[in-house]
Chain A
């Protein structure tokens, strides 16, 4: 592993200054569960680590107002067990609780998790040098296309990259139209969580829209009654501690037995956290039946382009959406 310097500033301003002064090779580190892992694999090669996890005030959780505000350095474990989150936003608690293991949720932060990098095995096979990867080495090619693509994306992929966006938490946030507050050299700005992510296109190495030196200081979720009738449904190769084969975040507002407004987002199947608007349109205003829920699930995958080994996710994903809709609808408002 490459030699690194390490600093741990106590304020965001000090961190931004330290990042700028460190120059080339500077990276922020929060929980480190992705970055340090990839440093060990030789895929991330920072020269300077600026630890943002001790920045004062960024670990706070405020679920009392019109906007739920989670400090960027609040741990996934702490947000998952917040009482308001558990009672009124089960999709958020479930998305966090079904991610990783308790050990990692105690380390990882709700800001850092938004920047988790793909688990594409060709991407992670960096040190071997055997497999090209446009994300790891721009222009080198993509070994996943035509390769072992069981875990690759069916939605949003390009000729250059099919890597899946691995997270659960971002999927739930995108369903709820959450935003992030970002602090950087040019001040503070906010943007929708969905806008953090770039489609791979011809430049899959550019994954996020953060500018150099910017820190995610808070994650903000608009309070909504739809939170209660919600779920994050995740199907995996084993029941706990695995990445999603297919997952769905669903939140519903109902009028009796009719769906007034549905929010549906997909995980495990797309190159970015995937809002399924066409599927939402199919169920909005419709009486809720399992049949309609399944049609909604199929609508979510209407544009799916499977590879060699992942076509099973079209049916699986549709069923996951349908089950998620029924689970959410069954919860008391």
Chain B
């Protein structure tokens, strides 16, 4: 390596690096999280075209006109008042927006809402009920698998899919299969324990 003393021609700040979402300078622990606010503030919307989609959300058939640019995440949160799925990075890097489309986990922030026309969407709101929680929801409570809770809906939706995929057969495998969901509080030990526990109760551990 031949580091010289000249400053780089175009110095990057940490903030720029994070916004760019590249692993280059953003240390080695977490994938960098882009700032949703920064990108939306700097990219004003023009009035756009709409497209009408027919979909089933949490078992309920819905027909709705959406902006062709809208993400599934924004439609769920802003139009359908389903605020369980969270906007963390808005670039598919953090997993807070994880929902199921036709039974498979996806990043709702990188899914064009137009794409779920004719498909079924399940969010955390459709997973269980307050009186009858899904085993994964109960396991997250039992294992203290959260601190602030912001990432939890995405963690739980990813975790349910992880079990159904057959990826919850060991701690190692769970950790790998859950790597798309970041918890900045660092509740990972509890999350892995909760998934192991729930997997057994779901009959697929």
Contact A103 B23, CB 8 Å, known A4-B69, A148-B8: no
Q: Are B23 and A242 in contact (CB under 8 A)?
A: yes
Chain A residues whose C-beta falls within 8 Å of the C-beta of B175 in the assembled complex: 240
CB of B86 to closest CB in A, whole Å? 14
Q: Are B31 and A241 in contact (CB under 8 A)?
A: yes
Interface of A is mostly: loop
Docked complex: B1-19 residues within 8 A CB-CB of A: 1-4, 6, 8-12, 16-17, 19
Stretch at the interface among A33-41, A56-64, A255-263: A33-41
Contact digits for A103-136, partner B, Cβ 8 Å, 1 yes 0 no: 1101100000000000111101101101110000
Contact A102 B1, CB 8 Å, known A33-B92, A146-B9: no
* Cross-interface CB contact of A146 among B6, B25, B162, cutoff 8 Å: B6
Q: Are B8 and A147 in contact (CB under 8 A)?
A: yes
B161 close to chain A: CB less than 8 A: yes
Q: Are B22 and A120 in contact (CB under 8 A)?
A: yes
Distance, CA A6 to CA B2, complexed state (A)? 50
Contact digits for B90-132, partner A, Cβ 8 Å, 1 yes 0 no: 1110010010000011110011101101000000000000000
Distance, CA A240 to CA B167, complexed state (A)? 14
* Cross-interface CB contact of B4 among A39, A125, A308, cutoff 8 Å: A308
Contact A147 B68, CB 8 Å, known A120-B22, A127-B39, A238-B29: no
Distance, CA A242 to CA B29, complexed state (A)? 10
Q: Are B29 and A127 in contact (CB under 8 A)?
A: no
* Cross-interface CB contact of A240 among B98, B105, B176, cutoff 8 Å: B176
Q: Are A119 and B22 in contact (CB under 8 A)?
A: yes
Distance, CA A75 to CA B11, complexed state (A)? 38
Contact A148 B12, CB 8 Å, known A3-B46, A4-B48, A309-B1: yes
CB of B49 to closest CB in A, whole Å? 5
CB of A117 to closest CB in B, whole Å? 12
Nearest residue (CB) in B for A125 is: B20
Q: Are B68 and A49 in contact (CB under 8 A)?
A: yes
CB of A311 to closest CB in B, whole Å? 4
Chain B residues whose C-beta falls within 8 Å of the C-beta of A309 in the assembled complex: 1, 3
Interface of B is mostly: loop
Nearest residue (CB) in A for B48 is: A3
Distance, CA A312 to CA B28, complexed state (A)? 15
Size band of the interface chain B makes with A: 35 or more
Nearest residue (CB) in A for B6 is: A146
Q: Are B106 and A106 in contact (CB under 8 A)?
A: yes
CB of B145 to closest CB in A, whole Å? 18
CB of B88 to closest CB in A, whole Å? 12
Nearest residue (CB) in B for A124 is: B20
A5 close to chain B: CB less than 8 A: yes
Q: Are A128 and B19 in contact (CB under 8 A)?
A: yes
* Cross-interface CB contact of B110 among A8, A104, A143, cutoff 8 Å: A104
* Cross-interface CB contact of A124 among B22, B30, B106, cutoff 8 Å: B22
Q: Which of A33, A39, A107, A311 has the most CB of B within 10 A?
A: A107
Q: Are A150 and B24 in contact (CB under 8 A)?
A: yes
CB of A100 to closest CB in B, whole Å? 7
Contact digits for B175-190, partner A, Cβ 8 Å, 1 yes 0 no: 1110111000000000
Q: Are B180 and A102 in contact (CB under 8 A)?
A: yes
A291 close to chain B: CB less than 8 A: no
Chain A residues whose C-beta falls within 8 Å of the C-beta of B47 in the assembled complex: 3
Q: Are A1 and B22 in contact (CB under 8 A)?
A: no
Chain A residues whose C-beta falls within 8 Å of the C-beta of B49 in the assembled complex: 3-6
Contact A121 B110, CB 8 Å, known A127-B43, A240-B179, A308-B2: no
Nearest residue (CB) in A for B114 is: A6
Nearest residue (CB) in B for A105 is: B180
Q: Are A102 and B23 in contact (CB under 8 A)?
A: no
**Chain A residues with a Cβ under 8 A of chain B:** 1-6, 8, 29, 32-33, 36-37, 39-42, 49, 51, 53, 77, 100-104, 106-107, 119-122, 124-125, 127-128, 130-132, 143, 145-148, 150-151, 236-243, 306, 308-309, 311-312
- 9 smallest CB-CB distances across A and B, nearest first, come from A101-B180, A121-B22, A240-B179, A3-B48, A241-B179, A121-B20, A143-B10, A151-B24, A237-B28
Given contacts A1-B69, A103-B180, 16 further A-B contacts (CB under 8 A): A4-B69, A6-B51, A6-B112, A32-B112, A37-B91, A39-B69, A49-B68, A100-B180, A102-B162, A102-B177, A103-B95, A121-B24, A146-B6, A151-B23, A306-B1, A311-B1
Q: List 30 A-B contacts (CB under 8 A).
A: A4-B69, A8-B114, A32-B112, A33-B107, A36-B110, A40-B39, A40-B90, A49-B112, A100-B180, A102-B180, A103-B95, A103-B180, A104-B107, A107-B106, A121-B20, A121-B21, A122-B10, A124-B21, A125-B12, A125-B20, A127-B42, A143-B10, A146-B8, A148-B12, A150-B25, A151-B23, A240-B176, A240-B179, A243-B23, A308-B8
